[in-house]
Amino acid sequence: MKRNLTNAFVLFGLVAMVLYWIASEVNYARMKRPDGMVTLADFKARFGEPVRVRIVHRDGRDFHELTGPMPSWPWLEAFPSSAPVYIFNDQGQLIEWFSDPGDQPEYGRRWGRDP
């Protein structure tokens, strides 16, 4: 009886950990999506100050690359390889974003940098 109870607690704990990890990934995926975000002002209203800002000169134009936030409490089990980046043109319009540039080689090809 005692062994069955211990096994049930261990199984419950493992299932709870897997569900927490899945919920963390889903929540973080929703949080970083740029739905409704069109301008730099929208970015700041949603995320506050960016973690990092980089100016990229390409095709005679300046682009602003803003790095968004990483997962925070209570969703610490999301494990992206790098924070999302949002690319804005010189008029402050969102033109592209990368959810996990560390896992997206096209980020480096298009914007000339590893995350």
List pLDDT tens digits, range 72-97: 666 566 676 788 999 999 999 999 99
Q: Per residue in 17-51, pLDDT tens? A: 888 888 877 877 777 888 899 999 999 999 999 99
The domain segmentation of the chain, as residue ranges, is 2-111
For residue 52, pLDDT over 70 is answered with yes
| 8 Å CB contact between 83 and 51 | yes
Name every residue whose Cβ is closer than 8 Å to that of residue 106 and which is 6 or more positions away in sequence. 98
For residue 67, pLDDT over 60 is answered with yes
d(CA 104, CA 26) in angstroms, rounded, equals 19
Report the 10 Å Cβ neighbour count for 90: 10
Rounded to an integer, the average pLDDT of 45-70 is: 92
d(CA 23, CA 74) in angstroms, rounded, equals 10
* 81 residue type, one letter: S
